[in-house]
Amino acid sequence: MTVLSSAETAEQPPRKKLCLSASRQLQSKSYALSQLNPMASPLDQPGYSFLMFTLPFIGFFSMKYFLGQVLNIQGYRVIAISVIFAVIIVQLIIYSYVKQAFNEPVNTVDDTDGREDDEKEQQQQLQQQQQQQQINCSCDNESNGSPGVATLCNLGNTCFLNSVLYTLRFAPSFLHNLHHLITELQEITGRSTNGLKGKCSSLGRSTSSASSKMWNFQSSLNVSMNDLKIIQVTERLHQVFEALHNCELKDSSDPYQPEVFLQSLRDVNPIFEGNQQHDAHELLVCLLDNIREGCKLVMQHSAQVNCFVAPAPVIQPVAPNKLKKLSGQVRKSLKIASSSKTRPVNGNLPPNINIPSDKVVLSENDNFADDKQMYVVNGTTNAVQSDENESIPSGSSSSSSSSTSMFDDFQGVSLLRTTCLECEFVTERKESFCDICVPINGLTNGDISPENDFNPYDYDSVNKLYHSAIVTEEYLQDTDKYWCEQCCRYNEAKRSVGYESLPRLLTLHLKRFCTNYRAVVSKVNEHMPTPLTLECFCEECLSLNSKQQTRAHSYQLYAIIMHLGATIASGHYVAYVKAQDNLDEYINCPRDRRKTGSLSATPNGTLPANYKKSSISNGLFRFLKISSKTSSGAPNSQSSDSIDDSGKVSSLGRWCRSLECCGVRILDNSEGGDTMWLECDDETVRTMSVAQLTQILESKSSKNSALTPYLLFYVKVNHSE
C-alpha cells in the first residue's frame, strides 16, 4: 500500500500540491527517489538512498567491464546484460528495504496479488505511521498566520472538494445536525460504529476493506444497497469533520486528506471519478442530495417506529432488569441480535409476541454500548407503512426531529405563478429547491443601468440587484402564448417566480457561465457585488415590505466560495468562511441522548488511541479555555457570554456530545470585537478581517485572473419583535 501511494504521487503533475502519506521530513527525499524508481519505499534512510545511487551504477559498470574484458563479448549484449544486472541490484535493494520496513517475509516486491492479503496489516501500520507523524509533527504552520484551524490537503484537483468541506464545516449548526443525523442513521442501519469509525477517521485508504465489512451487514437490513452507499457518503463526511476536530485537538498542522470521503463520493456519483477538476456547486448539490436521502431514511424509520408506539410517550432509559419484563410489550424499535434474522413484526403486534428476552435491547440504550451486537430494526412491515412514510410530519417523534430539520435547513419552497393576462386567473406551482441560481449577464447592463444609477457600494441598490435577479417575472407572449384553461385559448400570461419560504441556510449560485451562439460555454467575469447582509425576499417579507413594515428576516453572509480563473473549464476554488462560534447550540441539546453528563460517556473508539491517553476532559477543557478567552476578547458575542455562564465543570453535562466528536475549534487568535473570516485555500488557512474580505469582494479583478464569487452562503436571521 505504501509503495502504491508513493507511486501515485510520482505520477501527479507537478502543478498539484503533493500529498505524501509519509512523513514530512522525508518528503523531498522520497519524492526524489520515487522519480528515479517508482517502487521506492518511503521508509528510507540515508544509507539506503546512498546505496541506491551507487550500487546499481557500480554493478552496471563492473558487469560491463567483466563482460568486455574478461569474457570478450562485444556489442549490445554487453549493455543489455549490464542493465539487467543493475536492475537486479536495484530490486535487491528495494527488497531489503521492504523487508526491513515490514519486518516480515515478503515474497516479491512487485507481486500485486500478494498485496491484498497483507492489506490489513499494512493499513494498520500505515495508520500507526500516520498517527505518529501527526503527533510528532511540530506546528510549523503557525508561522504563516494559521489560526490553528485544521486544514485539508489537496489530493490533486480537489480544491472543489476542500472549499465545500470548509464551507460546510463552518455553516451554522451544520456539524451539530450532521452529528445527530449520523447517530440516527447508524441506529437505523444497526451498524456498530466503533471499530469502523475508529479506523476510518485516521486511516488513509481503507475504503475497500471498510466497505466490504460494511456490506456484510447489508443482507440483514431493510435498507437498499444504494441507500447504504448514500449513508456511507454522509458518514464519511462526518468522519472528515471528526478527523479535523482531532487534528485541532492535537494542534496538528498536517493537512488532512479527505481521500476516504472522496472515494465513497465516487462510489455514489461517477462524475467525480478521475482526478478532474469539478464544479463546487455540483458537489454541493450531490452532498445535499445524500443528506436528504439520509434524512428521508431517518424519517421513514421513525414513521415505522411510530407505528409501534402507542400514543403515550415512550419510556426513557430503562434498566436492564426492567427491560426483560417489558420485552413482551415492547413496541418501539425492537432490536434483535445479529445472529437472528430480521423478524417481520406486524403493525398490530400481539401483546404476547415471543421474543427471546435476552436478545432484546431497547433503543433508548446507548447505542455505542456494545460493538459486537448488531441492531436490526423491526421495520420490515413496510408494505403497510411505506405509504404513510411521506406524510409523517417531521416533528412527529423526538428521535426524528433533528435529522428531518437537517435538510430543511437547505430547502426552501419556490412558487411559480402563471397569470393569464386576459382573465387573470392564477395557477400556482410549488417546488422545493436547495439553491437559487442568480444570473449575472444581462443584469448589470439591463434594467438598472442608466435610469437609477447603480452604485455597487450602496446597500439598497445591491439588494435591489439581487432581488430583481432572484424574484423574476416574465411574459409568455408572441408564439409562446399560454393555454388558459379558463379562456379555452392561448393568451399572454405572466409567469413569476417567488419564494414561499426560504431555508435557514440559503445558497446563492451565481450563474458565472453563459453559452454563446456557437454553444461554447464561457465564464462570465463581470463583477457582481456581494452583500454581507441580504434582505429576505420570501413572500412574507415582501408583503411586509410593501406595507412599509420591517421584514421578518434577513440573511447574513457566512461563507463564499470564490472561483479563480478566467475560464470555466479550469481554475481554483477558495472558500472564505466566517469564523463564528456556535457553541450555544450545543448547550442543552434535546437530541443528545447521553444519560449522564460525565465525560466518560464519550463513545469508545471515536478518538484515536493515542488521544485517549491524554485525558479527554483535558481536551474539552481546552475548548472551554479557548472559548472563554475569545469571549473576553469579543464582548459583544452573545454566544460566548452564555458559555461563560455555563462554562463550569458542573454544567458540562448540558453540552451535547457532538461537540466533542466533530465540533469546530474556536479560534484562539481573534482580536478585537470584529468577526473574523478565514480564507481557506486547501492547506493554507488565513485569518482576515471583514474589511479585508470586503476589499477582496469589491476589487474588480482583471479579466485574466478573475477571482470571482461563485457560491454565496447566507444564514437566516430572524428579526424578533
For residue 303, what are the CA distances in angstroms to 191, 299, 392, 401? 20, 6, 6, 11
Among 132, 226, 477, 699, binds another protein (CB under 8 A): 477
Which residue number, 473 or 674, has a Cβ lying nearer to another protein? 473
b vs e for 245-260, b when ≥16 Cβ sit within 10 Å of the residue's Cβ? bbbbbbebbbbbbbbb
Find the shortest distance in angstroms from Cβ 442 to another protein.
15
In the complex, the smallest distance separating the C-beta of residue 412 from another protein, rounded to whole angstroms, is 24
- Reference 209, options 290, 115, 286, 287; nearest CA is 115
**Residue from the set 312, 319, 488, 519 that interacts with another protein by CB under 8 A:** 488
| Separation between Cα atoms, residue 501 and residue 284, nearest integer Å | 21
Nearer to another protein, 441 or 477 (CB): 477
> What residue type is 493 in one-letter code?
A
Minimum distance, C-beta of residue 456 to another protein, in the bound complex (Å): 24
According to DSSP, the residues that pair with 679 across neighbouring strands are: 576, 686
Pick the binder of another protein from 479, 515, 516, 704 (CB under 8 A).
Answer: 479
C-beta of residue 418 within 8 angstroms of C-beta of residue 494: yes
Nearer to another protein, 140 or 480 (CB): 480
Report the nearest approach of another protein to the CB of residue 515 (Å). Answer: 25
Range in contact with another protein (rule: CB under 8 A) among 416-424, 562-570, 613-621, 690-698: 416-424
Shortest separation between residue 526's beta carbon and another protein, angstroms? 24
490 binds another protein (CB under 8 A): yes
3 state DSSP class of 169: helix
Figure out which of the listed residues 487, 569, 609, 717 binds another protein, where binding follows CB under 8 A: 487
- Asked if 417 touches another protein (CB under 8 A), the answer is no
Q: Shortest gap between Cβ of 494 and another protein (angstroms)?
A: 7
| Residue from 104, 460, 478, 721 in contact with another protein (CB under 8 A) | 478
Regarding 494 and contact with another protein (CB under 8 A), the answer is yes
Taking alpha carbons only, the member of 586, 584, 585, 618 closest to residue 599 is 618
Query: What is the nearest approach in angstroms of another protein to the Cβ of residue 271?
Result: 34
Beta-bridged to residue 493, according to DSSP, are 420, 476
CA-to-CA distance for 39 and 55, rounded, in angstroms? 16
- Grid cell for residue 480: 409562446
Question: Which stretch in 23-31, 408-416, 473-481, 682-690 sits in contact with another protein by CB under 8 A?
Answer: 473-481
CA distance 378 to 339: 14
519 touching another protein, by CB under 8 A? no
Considering the complex, what minimum distance in angstroms separates the CB of residue 415 from another protein? Answer: 17
Q: What is the DSSP letter of 317?
A: S
Instruction: Tell me the C-alpha to C-alpha distance, in Å, between residue 401 and each of 232, 379, 393, 396.
Output: 21, 19, 9, 7
Closer residue to another protein, CB minimum distance, 427 or 628: 427
What is the distance between the alpha carbons of residues 535 and 538, in angstroms, rounded to a whole number?
9
Q: Which is nearer to another protein, 424 or 674 (CB)?
A: 424
User: Using the rule CB under 8 A, which residue among 424, 431, 480, 698 binds another protein?
Assistant: 424
Residue 475 interacts with another protein (CB under 8 A): yes or no: yes
Number of residues that bind another protein (CB under 8 A): 13
Contact positions with another protein (CB under 8 A) in 617-656: none
Does 453 contact another protein by CB under 8 A?
no
- Contact status: 492 vs another protein (CB under 8 A): yes
Site for another protein in 220-239 (CB under 8 A): none
Q: How far is the CB of 481 from another protein (least distance, A)?
A: 9
Least spacing, CB of residue 490 vs another protein, in Å: 7
Half-sphere exposure of 710 (CA within 13 A, CB side): 29
Q: For residues 93 and 59, what is the distance between their CA atoms, to the nearest angstrom?
A: 12
Kindly tell me which of 113 and 451 has the beta carbon lying closer to another protein.
451
Select from 71, 423, 691, 717 the one that contacts another protein (CB under 8 A): 423
Kindly give the residue spans of alpha helices, DSSP state H, lying in 666-709: 690-698
Determine the interface stretch with another protein among 262-270, 400-408, 476-484, 601-609 (rule: CB under 8 A): 476-484
Stretch of residues binding another protein (CB under 8 A), selected from 200-208, 321-329, 349-357, 484-492: 484-492
Cβ contact 493:482 at 8 Å: yes
Instruction: Kindly state the smallest distance separating residue 438's Cβ from another protein, in Å.
Output: 23
- Alpha carbons within 13 angstroms on the beta-carbon side of residue 638 total 2
CA 371/CA 44 separation, integer angstroms: 38
Query: CA-CA distance, 486 to 493, in Å (whole number)?
Result: 12
Nearer to another protein, 111 or 478 (CB): 478
Residue 649 gets which letter from DSSP? G
Closest CB to another protein among residues 267, 422: 422
| Nearer CB in complex with another protein: 108/477 | 477
Nine cell digits for residue 675: 468577526
The residue (of 360 and 421) whose beta carbon lies closer to another protein is 421
Q: State yes or no: residue 489 binds another protein (CB under 8 A).
A: yes
| Grid cell 446563492 in the structure block, residue | 508
Shortest distance (Å) from residue 489 CB to another protein:
4
Nearer to another protein, 322 or 489 (CB): 489
Q: Which CB sits closer to another protein, 477 or 549?
A: 477
Can you tell me the distance from the alpha carbon of 512 to that of 602, in angstroms, rounded to the nearest whole number? 45
CB 177 within 8 A of CB 403: yes
Instruction: Kindly provide the b/e burial profile for residues 214-230, where b requires at least 16 CB atoms within 10 angstroms of the residue's own CB.
Output: beebeebbbbeeebbbb
C-alpha separations of 610 from 117, 246, 365 in Å: 27, 11, 28
Judged by CB under 8 A, which stretch of 313-321, 379-387, 421-429, 527-535 contacts another protein? 421-429
What is the amino acid identity at position 36?
L
Q: Which of 261, 245, 265, 142 is nearest to 619 (CA)?
A: 245
Alpha carbons 260 and 208: distance in angstroms, whole number: 10
Give the nearer residue to another protein in terms of CB position, either 495 or 527: 495
User: Which CB atom, from 474 or from 698, has the smaller least distance to another protein?
Assistant: 474
Stretch that binds another protein, among 81-89, 235-243, 358-366, 472-480 (CB under 8 A): 472-480
Burial of 34 (C-beta count, 10 Å sphere; 0-12/13-18/19+)? buried
The count of other CB atoms within 10 Å of the CB of residue 485 is 11
Which of the 8 DSSP states describes residue 68? I
Cβ(291)–Cβ(259) below 8 Å? no
Helices 194-202 and 225-249 meet at what angle, rounded to 10?
A: 60
Nearer to another protein, 421 or 552 (CB): 421
- When asked if residue 569 is in the footprint of another protein (CB under 8 A), the reply is no
Candidate list 7, 18, 353, 421; residue touching another protein; CB under 8 A: 421
Instruction: Give yes or no for a contact between 682 and 159, defined as CB atoms under 8 angstroms apart.
Output: yes
The CB-of-555 to another protein minimum distance in angstroms stands at 25
Q: Which stretch binds another protein (CB under 8 A): 15-23, 327-335, 471-479, 554-562?
A: 471-479
| Closest separation in Å from C-beta 479 to another protein | 8
By CB under 8 A, residue 544 contacts another protein: no
Residue ranges in contact with another protein by CB under 8 A: 421, 423-424, 475, 477-479, 487-490, 492, 494
